[in-house]
A = this chain, B = another copy of it.
Amino acid sequence: MPRTGRRAGDADTRATIIEAARAEFAANGYNAATIRAIARRAAVDPALVYHYFTDKPALFVATQELPQDPRRVREAVEASGSPGVRLVEGFLAQWESGPGEPGRSFITLAQAVSSAPEVARSIREFLGDRIWAGREESGVDGLWRWNAISAQLVGLAWSRYIIRLEPLASASRHEVAARFGPAIERLMRGDSAMPQANDP
């Protein structure tokens, strides 16, 4: 029997579990990962995992909340080009700098989001509250534009990492950013028309 609650007094327990969960999700994907295997990696009792995190979706969400890899931020800042190009380059760098083959973390996220509505809700709130809140522009057209930018980025990651369309899947991050950045920048600047529907 494992020693239960062995790290219960440890202030780092929560972080240890999150790190173990991140490793397990990366190794086996969202669907195959189990609380039991995560507890084993963290050398804690499964009950302790449930104590800190209600269930697997909640634990997955927590793995997405850790500070981002600082390399990603640096790469985004150092990238040449327009704000749109830098946004695409930083977005791709986030998924290509983790453990496993490039894009592995996006595939895991996609499994989680499409399987667990609570994960999808968390991502939606994350996007709305932390990424897009506080932008200058507002109103309906601003909302549509940020919907469009989000859609383009997620579609790009899906096509590159999951469907693996060519030439997108094999091109360098630099080239992808150069090709997709300008259209996204037009949306960021608000000078790309997103016309309303006429009445049918």
Contacts and interface: CB of A to CB of B under 8 A. Distances in A.
Interface of A: 29, 31, 80, 107, 110-111, 113-115, 120-121, 123-124, 127-128, 140, 143-144, 147-148, 150-156, 158-159, 162-168, 172, 174-175, 177-180, 182-183, 192-198, 200
B197 A174 contact: yes
A179 B195 contact: yes
A140 B175 CA distance: 13
30 contacts: A31-B115, A110-B114, A114-B114, A114-B162, A120-B163, A121-B164, A123-B163, A124-B164, A124-B165, A144-B167, A147-B159, A147-B166, A147-B167, A148-B180, A151-B152, A151-B156, A151-B168, A151-B180, A154-B159, A154-B163, A155-B155, A155-B158, A172-B197, A174-B200, A175-B197, A179-B194, A179-B195, A179-B196, A183-B183, A183-B194
A24 B158 CA distance: 25
Contacts of A177: 197
B151 A159 contact: yes
A175 B148 CA distance: 13
A200 B85 CA distance: 13
B197 A163 contact: no
A159 B153 CA distance: 10
Interface of A (DSSP majority class): helix
A178 B196 contact: yes
Contacts of A197: 172, 174-175, 177-179
A57 to B, nearest CB: 13
Nearest to A180: B148
A114 B112 CA distance: 9
Nearest to A145: B179
A189 B93 CA distance: 31
Contacts of A153: 155
